[in-house]
Structure 1
C-alpha cells in the first residue's frame, strides 16, 4: 500500500456519497414534479434511487431537504471562496468572482437545478427553507465584505452589497430557469453585475423587430 492509498479510498467514498446524494435528490424532484409534493413518500424516493429508506435518512433529514438540496454547503463554499479573492479586487467584482464556483456547479447539474427551481416555484411551502439558508449566508457574507473593506459589520455598505448582489444573482437564476437553461447562467450573472457596476443606467429603448420582407 502506498502513502497515497488512503486519500484515494477516501476520494472514492466521497464520490460514491455524492452520487447517492444526487440520485436521491433527483428521484425526489422527479417524483414530486410528476405526482405532487403530498403524494410522494420517502419510501418511494428511496426505491426510485435504489437504496433503502435508512440510507435516505443518512443523507437527508426529510423529503423536503432532499428537494431543496444542501444549500448551506453551497453557500458556505461561496463565502469561503470570497474570503480567498485577493484584497485588491473591489468588493463587487470580488463577489462576482466568488460566484464562479457556484455558477459552475449549477451549470454542471443543469437539469437537476432547473427541475429544483421548477418544483420550488410550484410548491411555495418549500420557500421558507431556502429563505432561512439564504439569510444565514447573507449574514456570513456581510461579515466577510465588512472585513474586506475595513468597516464594521453594522456599516451600511456590507449589507447593501450583500442584498443587491444576492438579488442580482437570484434574478439571473430566474431568467436562466425561464429559458430552460438556453442562455448561459454565467452570461446572465455577468449582465446583472455589469449593470450594477455601471450604476444601473436606464437601458436603451428596445428596437422593434423589422418585418420580414416577402419577395414581390
Structure 2
C-alpha cells in the first residue's frame, strides 16, 4: 500500500508539473489572452477535466512555477538545522531557491508576464499568502512561539514572501545593477536593521 501511494503521489506531482510548465510555455509564446485551459491540457496530454483536478483556472497554472518556488522555500526551511538562527536559515533558503538555475530564461519571461497582468499578480499573491501561513508555523516551531497568538513567526514569514517578490521583480527589471544574491542579502540586512531610512546623499543619482 505504501509503495502504491508513493507511485500515485509521484504521478500526480508529475502531472501537475507538466500542466504548469505547459501553461507557462503557452503564456510566454502566445500571451495570457491566447492561453486556454483546453490548450494547456492538450499540451500536457491530459483532459480538461484532469486539468481542473489540479488548478481552478489558467491563471493559477501559469503562476504555478513561481508559487511552487515559494513552496520549495518552505520545504527547505523545515530542513534547516534546528539550532541555526532563523534569519540565517531564511537567507540560506532564499539563496538556494531564487538563484538562477537551468530554467533561468523561462522564469525571467514568466515573471515579466506576471508583472504585467493583474489577474496573474492576484493568483501569485494568493499562492504566496498560503505559503506564508505555512511558513509561520515552521518558524514558530523553530523559535518556540505560538502561531495562533504571536506576531513574530508571521512577521518573519511575511518578510520572506515580500523579499522573494520584491527582489525578483527588481532584478528582472535589470535596473539595480546588482546580482540576485546581493539583492537578497541587502533586503534581509535592511529588515534585520529595522529598515533604517536611507542616506539621501548616498542614494542620490550622481548624474542628476
Structure 1 and Structure 2 fold alike (TM over 0.5): yes
SS in 1 for 2:203: coil
* Corresponding residue for residue 137 of structure 1: 131
CA distance in 2, matches of 1:183, 1:68: 25
**Structure-2 change in CA distance of 1:157 and 1:41 (3 Å):** closer
Structure 1 residues 101-131: Cα deviation after superposition (integer angstroms, max 9, x where no partner): 3113x54322222222221222211233222
CA distance in 2, matches of 1:185, 1:76: 19
**Structure-2 change in CA distance of 1:206 and 1:23 (3 Å):** closer
* Corresponding residue for residue 209 of structure 1: 206
Query: Which one has the largest radius of gyration?
Result: 1
Count of residue correspondences: 196
* Corresponding residue for residue 150 of structure 1: 144
TM-score (norm 2): 0.73
Structure 1 residues 117-170: Cα deviation after superposition (integer angstroms, max 9, x where no partner): 221222211233222211211111101111111111121111111122322222
Unaligned runs of 5+ in 1: 1-12, 212-216
Structure 2 counterpart of 1:77, from 72, 75, 90: 72
CA distance in 2, matches of 1:69, 1:30: 14
* Corresponding residue for residue 27 of structure 2: 29
Q: Is the 8 A contact 2:98 2:164 kept in 1?
A: no
* Corresponding residue for residue 157 of structure 2: 162
Work out whether 1:86 is the aligned partner of 2:84: no
How do residues 6-155 of structure 1 correspond to structure 2 at under 5 angstroms? 20=18, 24-33=22-31, 36-37=32-33, 39-42=34-37, 44=39, 52=45, 54=47, 57=51, 61=55, 62-71=57-66, 73-104=68-99, 106-153=100-147, 154-155=149-150
Q: Is the 8 A contact 1:141 1:162 kept in 2?
A: yes
Work out whether 1:191 is the aligned partner of 2:186: yes
Unaligned runs of 5+ in 2: 1-10
* Corresponding residue for residue 214 of structure 1: none
Offset, 1:53: 5.8
**Structure-2 change in CA distance of 1:151 and 1:208 (3 Å):** closer
CA distance in 2, matches of 1:26, 1:59: 18
